[in-house]
Amino acid sequence: MSPPLDQPGGRFVVVPASYVFLLRDGATGPEVLLQLRRNTGFMDDHWAAAAAGHVERGETAYDAARREALEEIDVRDLDLAFVTAMQRTRGGEPIDERIDFFFTARSWTGEPRIVEPEKCAELRWCPLEALPDPVVPHERAVLAELRLGTTQPYTTFGFEAGSREGSP
């Protein structure tokens, strides 16, 4: 029998989520579609991926990305490209252990629109070179790597510097 989560040696729960950054070519370079979060209980009043959410039981990260894009911004048939898997923490509490799957899409069907106005105050195309402020910190890190062309298949966020082996 494993010890409880709050005991030394206890197992923790990893919460998986999928993120979709819609990209397009703008007048001054690449642009990303971001939403301004509100009334979600997490990072409200921060800019974030236009579509993101938890991976549900029995669902792949790709399927979750497609579902979230349909539910949140009414687009389908996304041509998803995997960017990175980010392991992140905020101190090691069980709910704070995350694995985030980031995707981009440069083509899709439908015109992005706000489907959940109670959770999204605004959708905006933003140049990767000039993101609005504030952006959810771990998402800003991925967007910076996209802008610089330095993405890696595995990244971390929130861990001590010495524990980031294999991550920039």
Q: Work out the average pLDDT over 138-157.
A: 96
More confident residue, 12 or 94: 12
Ranges of each domain in the chain: 15-160
Strands 51-54 and 15-26 turn out to be antiparallel
The mean pLDDT value for 69-92 works out to: 92
Burial of 149 per CB tally in 10 Å (0-12, 13-18, 19+): exposed
What pLDDT sits at residue 17?
A: 97
pLDDT in tens, 2-24: 445 555 556 667 889 999 999 99
Q: What is the pLDDT of residue 165?
A: 46
For 32-77, write each residue's pLDDT tens digit: 999 999 998 888 999 999 999 999 999 999 999 999 999 999 999 9
Label residue 95 by pLDDT band (50, 70, 90). Answer: low
pLDDT higher than threshold 80 for residue 140:
yes
User: pTM of the full predicted structure?
Assistant: 0.88
CATH number of 15-160: 3.90.79.10
Percentage with pLDDT > 90 across the chain:
76
pLDDT band at 166 (very low <50, low <70, confident <90, very high): very low
